[in-house]
Amino acid sequence: MGELTGIAIGVTAERRAEDFIAALERYGAEVRHAPTITIVPLESDPALRSATEAVLAEPVAFTVVTTGAGFRGWLDAAAGWGLREPLLDRLRASRIYARGPKAVGAVRGAGLREAFSAESESNAELFGALAAAGVAGARVAVQLHGTPLPAHTSSLTGASLVEVQPYRWHSPPDVRPVHELIDAAIAGELGALAFTSAPAAANFLALARSYGRYEALVAALRGPVVVACVGPVTAAPLEEAGIRTVQPERQRLGALVKLLVTTFAAPA
């Protein structure tokens, strides 16, 4: 018997969902999987290629790396277009600002070196440091992940931004599994819902609204259902809706699994 035996956990992730689900099932959880977003394949994304070519068109003074996975995906896509080395040369000539250790790992793995890393792994610290560096009149490449960040990029007053968005997303072609997960949460059939990205969390709420069950869902998530998020960025759309979330100290999938285990483990 595992610590999560008898606990139904809803998983909304698409990327790395198999690893996450397998880890939960090893502890005995009953996992109900309903991806709330579908990610656009990088190599076939014309918007990503256009943004990459815009970065290559002129020197950039600063590069912002918000996620390790997004940065690696961008470089992989550039490699498919024969642009990886020119892109690395362009970024190497800039000052690179990274959001936390995973972003730093991706930067160094590509043979580059960051000028700044946000210790809190927050976008607020990342963009605050960049704004303080003085970007007026500078060209800045910003690697996003899944969604724009206007609340943060708006602080870069006077800069010329080139926003590069790997992993653009849209709603899944079949929303019935999401509707079933919403129904299960409202009916009290779930012990927890787990979120690993802000777009997945935001679109879960959006799909509940279009389904006509938003208020009932929010009420359920404010009640007995544990809402677990991998970190504060992921939690933000839920917290803004007045839903309390729990988060691990380290923003990692393994830490999220351990948090769920300790949350439901029977007291000694």
Q: Are 53 and 156 members of one domain? A: yes
155: domain range?
42-168
Stated pTM of the model: 0.68
CA distance 160 to 157: 9
CA distance 23 to 147: 27
Q: Are 64 and 177 members of one domain? A: no
Q: What residue ranges of the chain have pLDDT lower than 70? A: 1, 41-42, 146, 266-268
Residue 1 maps to a domain: no
Residue 3 maps to a domain: no
Among 145, 168, 191, where does a domain finish? Answer: 168
Among 168, 187, 203, where does a domain finish? Answer: 168
Q: What is the pLDDT of residue 245?
A: 97
Q: Are 141 and 52 members of one domain? A: yes
Q: Are 69 and 46 members of one domain? A: yes
Q: Are 222 and 242 members of one domain? A: yes
Q: Are 138 and 195 members of one domain? A: no
* Residues 151 and 144 sit within 8 Å (Cβ to Cβ): no
Return the ∠ at Cα 38 (arms to 202 and 10), rounded to 5°. 60
Q: What is the pLDDT of residue 268?
A: 42
**Could you read off the pLDDT of 113-161 as tens digits, one per residue?**
999 999 888 889 999 999 999 999 999 999 987 677 888 999 999 999 9
Q: What is the pLDDT of residue 41?
A: 64
Q: Are 47 and 150 members of one domain? A: yes
Among 168, 189, 211, where does a domain finish? Answer: 168
Q: Are 181 and 131 members of one domain? A: no
Is residue 50 classed as helix, strand or coil in its secondary structure?
A: helix
CATH number assigned to the domain comprising residue 111: 3.40.50.10090
- 154: tokens are 């708006």
Q: Are 124 and 180 members of one domain? A: no
Give me the helix-helix angle, 253-264 and 17-26, nearest 10°.
Answer: 30
Q: What is the pLDDT of residue 27?
A: 94
Number of domains in the chain: 2
